[in-house]
Structure 1
Amino acid sequence: MRTSVDSGQSTTQSLTVAVVERVANRENVEPLDVPPLNDVIDPDALEALFDDPETAADRVTFNFHGYEVVVEGPEQVRATPLEDPSK
């Protein structure tokens, strides 16, 4: 379980929930309106990468629902819109 700074609250939640909520916030929709995260990444594997502070990954980047998601730790989740290739 993790604490998300993106929610603006001190609630404990999983890293995968933080990712979905971050993208949902960017889209101005409810988290249930975002496609399942496991369509693009294994949520258990993502959680495992940051479980142990001694061996945690520095950064994980992946595309999800039109965003580049960068996870640098349990409390550091960024979602940046992907550029439109037609521009």
Structure 2
Amino acid sequence: MIATALPDDEPTATSVTESIVTAVADAADEDTLDLPPLWDVVDPEALDALFAPMKTGASRAGRVEFDYYGYRVRVDAGESTTVSLLGGE
């Protein structure tokens, strides 16, 4: 399993979708531009909005899993947001 934590102090620095594409590209030893579009499997804007801080600044909690480029992607949010890759090619 590969896990990447998003920085809490700079929520706009790296989006959830950017972290997913980067993690999959790194795991597959591919360039991010060589991967198929993430929107083929999930709505990137909806995913980023789902894990964005609430208007009050509080963190959201939840989990989303989906398959992308031969990997099972899991995004967990709570105290921090983590992108994990389960399995692979």
**What is the TM-score normalised by the length of structure 1?**
0.73
User: In the alignment, is residue 40 of structure 1 matched against residue 41 of structure 2?
Assistant: yes
Q: Secondary structure at the match of 1:18?
A: helix
Among candidates 69, 80, 84, match of residue 78 of structure 1 = 84
Name the structure, 1 or 2, with higher relative contact order (CA <8 Å, separation 6+): 2
Q: 1:50 — aligned with what?
A: 51
Check whether the contact 1:5–1:75 (CA below 8 A) recurs between aligned residues: yes
Percentage of identical aligned residues:
38
Counterpart code for 1:58: G
Counterpart code for 2:67: N
Alpha-carbon RMSD: 2.7
Shift of 1:70: 0.2
Q: Secondary structure at the match of 2:60?
A: coil
Q: Deviation above 6 Å: which 4+ runs of structure 1?
A: none
Q: Secondary structure at the match of 1:32?
A: helix
Q: 1:67 — aligned with what?
A: 71
The number of equivalent residue pairs is: 77
Q: How does 1:10-21 map to 2 (within 5 A)?
A: 12-21=13-22
Question: Where in structure 2 are there 5+ consecutive unaligned residues?
Answer: none
**What is the TM-score normalised by the length of structure 2?**
0.71
